[in-house]
Amino acid sequence: MEQVCLSESEHQAELEDSIIAWQDKYDRLYESHKRVQKVNQGLEDKLLKLVDRNTAERAQLTSDVATLSVRLAQANFNISKLQREIERYKTDINLAIQLLQCKPDSFVPQKISSLPIDIQSKVSSYIRVDTNSHSDSEGSITGVGITTTTAYKVLPANDSPPRETCPFPPTAMVYSMRGLGKC
């Protein structure tokens, strides 16, 4: 019985040593688990911040793309509108050239001062003369009696008068239409 008791006490000591070893392993694993949880929490917070920032950037980029798409559509519309106006002006110029070639003596150059006041304002809105930068000797006299220089400003086409009131914008205001049927 003593021997059994001694063997049991040795066995109990071994079990206690084993329990202490397992308890130590458990404590170390528990501490490692806590550290890993803290690291994971920090990484998760960083990841959520990145997701929020990327979501905000994506929303901003989507907004920018929408804005730029609208601006691109407007620019394309303006381009097509300007191309139509260019074609219209080309046909007007070709018609004016044909009229001039048909009977050039029928078209008498006029001075702006001899035109009616409303037409004078329209003509001067089309031609902006820069007299401050050049002298009269450098300029040339046009058919309307204005000294022009190489620096003048042509206003955009949307400032032009409506087609009904002025079928040939520059030529109808500048040239007389007398004797048109004698071609």
Query: Residue 104 has what pLDDT?
Result: 63
Query: Residue 107 has what pLDDT?
Result: 63
The H-assigned helical ranges of the chain are 2-102, 117-126, 169-174
| Phi, psi values for residue 39, rounded to 5° | -65, -45
Please state, in angstroms and rounded to a whole number, the distance separating the CA atoms of residues 170 and 96. Answer: 9
- Grouped pLDDT means (10 residues each) for the chain, 183 residues: 77 89 95 96 96 96 97 97 96 86 68 76 66 41 45 46 46 47 48
Comparing C-alpha atoms, which of 169, 72, 163 is closest to residue 119? 169
Please tell me the pTM assigned to this model. Answer: 0.39
Do residues 113 and 144 touch, judged by C-beta distance below 8 A?
Answer: no
Query: Residue 120 has what pLDDT?
Result: 78
